[in-house]
Structure 1
């Protein structure tokens, strides 16, 4: 086991470039990392690193050892991942951060089945409208849409969702249906209450260009579900994500508007996790459950 710890310390130091960064990333002290690698070098009777003031450089022997060490670490991780085949062995707490509407409409419907399948697992679902990197605070998985900041995190695309301008049949019967984008200026519209690209109402202008309609919302809300409730009540027009209101559209509770002017393309939705080469079983089973659910129940 000590040999394996030495090998892990060597891999961490190689990945992070120095003992201090490797120690911080793995909950150890720099001296502990240094001692493990020194023991490894003594055991192998070779020097694996040229130690600089701030960085480490692999020696020729270190580069050769890296190939073998990586194969061993990969094999160990693959063996550990077999825990997925035994639901009672997938345990611990899974911390998730996502949009409130995604949690309500795309996770909660199947979450009871997921928890029943993995009785040793507990789930902590945190919500917020925009992506915040909380992985250093123990977050396991984030699910968010749109553009993401550059980082070392892994973003796995799990779907796409268009934004849909819509209203209820009752509102349209009372106020009429807008025929072109600028007609929205004469209607009651509602928007998000925070700064976001979601608040920009853009359409094609019929000549290949893009126009932005400067709507003046009658009210703004911090959550998409409140906008949805306003639309369902017949109060006015909203713009919401397809994953959020797909079922309302299928059931005729909301009617898409200005579809001939809609911009082409959809907003990507990502499953984000920390930059780890091998996922823990709890993250992997959640990912697989989610992707299976989305495949069986597409929101479009």
Structure 2
């Protein structure tokens, strides 16, 4: 099996590469060349924002394309037309953000998509990409499956999520939680995402035109995330609730480069029964085991200092006055 992986030099892609290599796959990773090469794969430079970037694959033979890096739906449109009748399957890494905001949980694959949604632009591009791939499949170009992911955790996570909590807990620092941390989140372990992708490949045409939520069965609040992290590292929590309205904060302006807490105050509980019923896939890890694995890796890595964020400092300063 020959697989082309768009993206894949960071975090989740490394897990997928490992899982594919264990299946005996011949893997090519295409990215902009801004990261180190992945051992075991053929690494090629491909900047999809540039016209004609895919032409280097004109004489290549692939069975499966896995697309991690389609930030713009036009990239999926170009790839779909380019690989038409040249590949068997196109797997698109999508997001739980495609769904409209909901007060009914869990959110299943048949829920409404699109606005109203706090991450409208991001969701719009992902929804258009999914729709394009459905059209390509209807035309017989290839089969396609979308993987809708929640927050993905695990070693090599380049986002300051698990490390945000652990670094503050180890130092006894306060952790700010908007509205007391009541927002509900879904999670999945990066290794489980990789296993799900392998299962989807092996399922063949059975999963054509399907979209699957891939998440643990149990959802957790922001406060619950902190409390589980505290249990894992055997420290007491020091939680400081605050009112986001006092600082003109809303979900739409959430920015991981400047946070008070690394998850937005937005409810998102994804149900994942469909993939279980369709191909029998169930994630192996719950949130606590994800945090245990990450914490051990993070301690060995040794970069334990909390990252500083102006927003966090601004809120702390006002609360301490």
> So what's the TM-score if we normalise by structure 1?
0.29
* Structure-2-length-normalised TM-score: 0.28
